[in-house]
Amino acid sequence: MSPQLFAYLLEGLLTTLQLTVGAAVLGLVFSFAAGIATCSPNIVVRGVGRCYIELFRGISALVLLFWFVFALPYAGWQLEPMWAGILALALNIGAYGAEVVRGGIVAVPVAQIEAAVALNFTRSQRMRLVVLPQAIARMLPPFGNLLIELLKGTSVAYIVLIPDLTFAGQIVRNATGDSASVFTALLILYAVLAVIFTTIVRLVERRVAKSLGRQPTPGFFARIKGVKA
């Protein structure tokens, strides 16, 4: 592979990272907004949160991406393909993340909330100081899974000519004619990215567990060693 083609592949890798990180950050905003909304005592707020979840869980991210790129301009709005990709992926993954947020919140023991009520905490204080810190510790493992799904989902972006890793791989394959090597390299690169993201999430899990005064869950090999001992 020539240096020029290799550089093009690296540019695609950077674009994939931009798509993943951008959609993950925006998706987190949607997740927490909708997830907290579904736990609201206000029926209208709950309804809005539930409508968002059901709507965007049921829409294909690829179809949503097509709509932003090809249909939205007819309404007078033109999004750059990169921003359309980030928004489509964030709306889709945010709907799944909202259920993770809701599940983490309802899993907090009722006794903790009752104790906060006894201390005369306001509703926002209970959510911010008592519920969310404990809920986030429960959310992190499924959020890690969603992050990997998001990474893999960015590969649909090449269809609207976003020069991501898959798009770059197609260009390199067309230039070299070597499908086996190029797509094997893509497999390896996506796998390496997934391992990196998984490691980051696990480090955050350990940090959050320590901040709550909990013992971090040991890894598989550490547990096996403990059993043998």
Tens digits of residue pLDDT in 140-198: 999 999 999 999 999 888 888 788 888 888 888 888 887 888 888 889 999 999 999 99
Q: Find how far residue 146's CA is from the centre of its chain.
A: 5
pLDDT at 119: 86
Q: What tens digit of pLDDT does each residue of 113-148 get? A: 888 888 888 888 888 888 888 899 899 999 999 999
State pTM to two decimals: 0.86
- Which single residue is written with the structure tokens 């940090």? 207
Q: How distant, in Å, are the alpha carbons of 8, 30, 54, 115, 145 from that of 95?
A: 33, 7, 7, 31, 14
Give me the residue label for tokens 């890798």: 13
Rounded distance, CA 124 to CA 152, Å? Answer: 36
Sequence-ordered list of residues with C-beta below 8 angstroms from that of 52, at least 6 positions apart, any chain: 30, 34, 37, 95, 98
Ordered structural domains, the chain, with CATH: 9-222 (1.10.3720.10)
Helix axes 179-211, 132-153, angle to 10 degrees: 180
| 220 has a pLDDT exceeding 50 | no
Place of tokens 């945010």: 94
* Look-up of token digits 């809701």: 102
Whole-number Å distance between alpha carbons of 105 and 151: 26
**Tens of pLDDT, residues 86-98:** 999 999 999 999 9
